[in-house]
Structure formats: structure tokens, C-alpha cells
Amino acid sequence: MKQAVFLGAATALITPMHPDGSINPDEMKRLVEWQIERGIDALVVCGTTGECATLSREEHLQAVSCVVEQVAGRIPVIAGSGSNDTAFSIITSKEAAAIGADALMSVTPYYNKTTQDGLIRHFFTIAEASGLPLIVYNVPSRTGMDISLETCRKLSEHPLIAGIKEASGDVAKVSRIIASCGSELPVYSGNDDIAAPILAMGGKGVVSVVSNLLPGEMADLCRRGKNNDL
């Protein structure tokens, strides 16, 4: 059984910015500290909520550095490094690893709509280049591509593929993933509104947007789920 990168609630952090569009590191550090004080279990920086698709390489590096520095090892930091460009994902993944991120999160390549085999190679290449555990991110409503159950099984066999953030909204599919390979592919809800049923089915937690505002409440929901007290 693979060890999960985190258990419970991880906030998909916003990226605070100045009026001119540049990153505001002081506000980001303040947000990170408040999240930790409220009991959040992990943080995801440069994910969809953090506007990763519009950040430059330099901004990505700045945001990840800021969060890693402020967290200082207290909770896991997961760096979003997803792109439809495998080579660019490798660059940002290696930089995140060098900075001290604990794991990566990588979305399916959007727009390109690769084959399932191409998708597997994309994720394996990124994970192997960085050496960090990688959580794959399935959100077909945004990317136009859905990770199949068979692909989940194949991904679960790689030692560095550390989980899946499932945001398809298909609870029945999530239950099949958990039943088929959940011990080797920890499943996290990518939707706040179905976090509770996914926890009840054996999911390991949630990557949450609403926890930018309610970190303690989301962490408590996950603890209750773990204790069968939903």
C-alpha cells in the first residue's frame, strides 16, 4: 500500500497579486500562516485556483518558493506543475523539487487531447524527471480529457504516482477507482460539494477551494470522515 502524500484537507491556494498583476508575497505568506493556524492538513500552490495556466515560469518559481519558505516543513506542500507541454512541466517540476516541495500535482494535458497511452507517458516522464511523488489531476470539464479506469490502474503501478485528484464529478466512477486500485492510488476529491461521499467511500481527503475561506471546517469534515462520523 502506498503512503498518501497527505490525509485530510488540502487548500488549493489562491495566488494573491498586486493591482499590477505581480505576485504579492507578503499576502501569500499571511494566507499560508493563517491556513496552518486554522488546522489545514496540506497546501497546493499553483493549482487551478492559483491561476497556474496564466503564471510565467518565473512567477511559478516565486509562488512555490514563497509557500515552501513560510510552511517550513510543518505540513506538506504540493506544487502544481501541470501543462499541456510535457517539457515545460518537467522544468517547473524540477524547480519545485529543488525548492523543497514535498510533491507535485499535474493536470491532464488540456487542448492537445492525447491518447490514454500518451497521457500515461506524460505523467511517468514528469514524475521520473523530478523524483517527487505526483498526484494526477482529472478535471475533464476543463481539459477535455478524462482519465479512464484502466489508465488509473496503470498509473497506480508506478512508484512515484502518489494519487489522483478526481474532479470529474462522477461519484460512481470514483467508487470504481477506489475499489479497483485505491490502495495503490489514493483518491482525493477535487470537488468540495462531493467531498463527503468520496470520504465515505474510502477517499483520502479533498483538494479544496472553499478552504481558502474555511480551512478549519474542511479539515474537520475530513477528520470526521476518517472516523466514520460524517
Q: Tens digit of pLDDT for each residue in 131-188? A: 999 999 999 999 999 999 999 999 999 999 999 999 999 999 999 999 999 899 999 9
Mean pLDDT of 76-103: 97
- Asked whether residue 1 is assigned to any structural domain, the reply reads no
Smallest Cα–Cα separation from 28: which of 7, 6, 43, 10? Answer: 43
- Asked whether residue 77 is assigned to any structural domain, the reply reads yes
- Asked whether residue 3 is assigned to any structural domain, the reply reads no
- pLDDT, residue 122, reads 97
- Asked whether residue 61 is assigned to any structural domain, the reply reads yes
Report whether 166 contacts 198 (CB < 8 A).
Answer: yes
Domain count, the chain: 1
- Asked whether residue 137 is assigned to any structural domain, the reply reads yes
Residues with Cβ within 8 Å of residue 103, at least 6 apart in sequence: 5, 76, 77, 78, 79, 132, 133, 134, 135, 162
* Residues annotated catalytic, as ranges: 137, 165
- Asked whether residue 65 is assigned to any structural domain, the reply reads yes
- pLDDT, residue 2, reads 86
- Asked whether residue 213 is assigned to any structural domain, the reply reads yes
- Asked whether residue 2 is assigned to any structural domain, the reply reads no
- pLDDT, residue 227, reads 79
CA distance to 4, 7, 28, 167, 224, per residue, from 218 (Å):
18, 12, 20, 17, 10
Q: What string of DSSP letters covers 47-80? A: STTTTGGG--HHHHHHHHHHHHHHHTTSS-EEEE
**Whole-prediction pTM:** 0.96
Q: Indicate the average pLDDT of the chain.
A: 96
Whether the per-residue pLDDT at 229 is higher than 90: the answer is no
C-alpha cell at 163: 494519487
DSSP state of 212: G
- pLDDT, residue 43, reads 99
Residues with Cβ within 8 Å of residue 180, at least 6 apart in sequence: 149, 152, 153
Range of the domain at 18: 8-226
**Helix, strand, coil in percent for the chain, rounding step 5:** 45, 15, 35
112 falls in which pLDDT band (50, 70, 90)? confident
pLDDT in tens, 24-53: 999 999 999 999 999 999 999 999 999 999
CATH of the domain at 143: 3.20.20.70
